[in-house]
């Protein structure tokens, strides 16, 4: 049985129709929900993926994109995103995976899809292929797609001491004057995460750009700085 059929059957068995409507309304989703909450979904993925092994990056990407493209319910796309983080696929988190991630980000176009890719998967890819991925993130940061810009801003959220400040600031700069909530929030979130490592630098950066950063970005950036 193809993986996507196994996923749909497993999700259907967990479905709670009483939760489906409220979940769809909360996420402002055009795609319906089955009503499977996060914890049971994660447990299902762990069981379903336990014996999965991929001999090539192409085979892994094919399964991810089949789940993503053929989804009838939003939870199926959550499973696709979970599959991108399969421990056995760590070797495939390379520059060549960016096309898959770009499709998920641009066609998903909402924070619940975009943020796990931005903060987790892109960081892995960046660590494995830093030079070409940094170049691509700078390209994304100046493009027309808001969600790719958000990805570029957030891709180092887990970097801590390994943060490339030139890359972070280069990716923030093109969106600093944006009125888009998700870009303003993303800028603040990225700076707040780095503030755990170097609060003085974040305070300096916010002060230096006080006339351009939105109030939301500034508040988020300084939230954890005493």
Q: How far apart are the first and last CA of the chain?
A: 55
The domain of 27 spans 1-92
Tens digits of per-residue pLDDT, 101-132?
999 999 999 999 999 999 999 999 999 999 99
- Contact between 150 and 138 (Cβ < 8 Å): no
Share of the chain above pLDDT 70, in %: 100
Q: Alpha-carbon distance 11 to 34, whole Å? A: 7
Share of the chain above pLDDT 90, in %: 97
CATH of the domain at 44: 1.25.10.90
Range 72-80 average pLDDT: 97
Q: Is residue 62 part of a domain?
A: yes
Q: Alpha-carbon distance 7 to 11, whole Å? A: 6
Q: Does residue 1 carry a pLDDT above 80? A: no
- Contact between 214 and 207 (Cβ < 8 Å): no
Task: Kindly report the pTM of this predicted structure.
Answer: 0.95
Q: Is residue 37 part of a domain?
A: yes
Q: Is residue 134 part of a domain?
A: no
Q: How confident is the model at residue 141 (pLDDT cuts 50, 70, 90)?
A: very high
When the pLDDT of each residue in the chain is averaged and rounded to a whole number, the result is 97
Q: Is residue 132 part of a domain?
A: no
Range 24-29 average pLDDT: 96
pLDDT on residue 80: 98
- Nearest residue to 154 via CA among 140, 143, 144: 140
CB atoms within 10 A of CB 181: 11
Q: Is residue 52 part of a domain?
A: yes
pLDDT on residue 2: 84
Q: What is the domain count for the chain?
A: 1
Q: Is residue 70 part of a domain?
A: yes
Q: Alpha-carbon distance 12 to 23, whole Å? A: 16
Q: How confident is the model at residue 91 (pLDDT cuts 50, 70, 90)?
A: very high
Range 157-182 average pLDDT: 98
Q: Is residue 25 part of a domain?
A: yes
| SS3 state at 28 | coil
Query: 54: which 2 tokens?
Result: 């991929």
Range 53-69 average pLDDT: 96
Q: Is residue 119 part of a domain?
A: no
């Amino acid at each position: 049985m193809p993986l996507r059929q196994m996923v749909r059957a497993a999700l259907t068995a967990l479905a709670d129709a009483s939760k489906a409507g409220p979940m769809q309304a909360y996420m402002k989703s055009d795609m319906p929900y089955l009503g499977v909450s996060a914890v049971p979904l994660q447990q299902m993925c762990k069981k379903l993926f336990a014996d999965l092994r991929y001999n090539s990056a192409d085979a892994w990407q094919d399964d991810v994109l089949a789940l993503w493209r053929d989804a009838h319910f939003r939870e199926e796309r959550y499973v696709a995103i979970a599959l991108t983080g399969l421990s056995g696929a760590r070797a495939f988190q390379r520059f060549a995976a960016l096309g898959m991630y770009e499709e998920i980000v641009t066609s998903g176009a909402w924070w619940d899809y975009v943020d796990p890719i931005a903060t987790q998967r892109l960081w892995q890819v960046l660590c494995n292929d830093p030079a070409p991925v940094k170049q691509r993130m700078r390209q994304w940061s100046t493009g027309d797609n808001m969600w790719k810009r958000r990805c570029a801003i957030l891709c180092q959220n887990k970097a801590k001491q390994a943060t490339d400040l030139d890359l972070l600031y280069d990716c923030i700069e093109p969106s600093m004057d944006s009125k888009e909530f998700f870009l303003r929030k993303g800028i603040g979130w990225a700076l707040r995460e780095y503030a755990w490592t170097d609060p003085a630098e974040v305070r300096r950066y916010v002060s230096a750009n006080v006339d351009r950063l939105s109030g939301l970005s500034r508040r988020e950036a300084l939230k954890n700085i005493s």
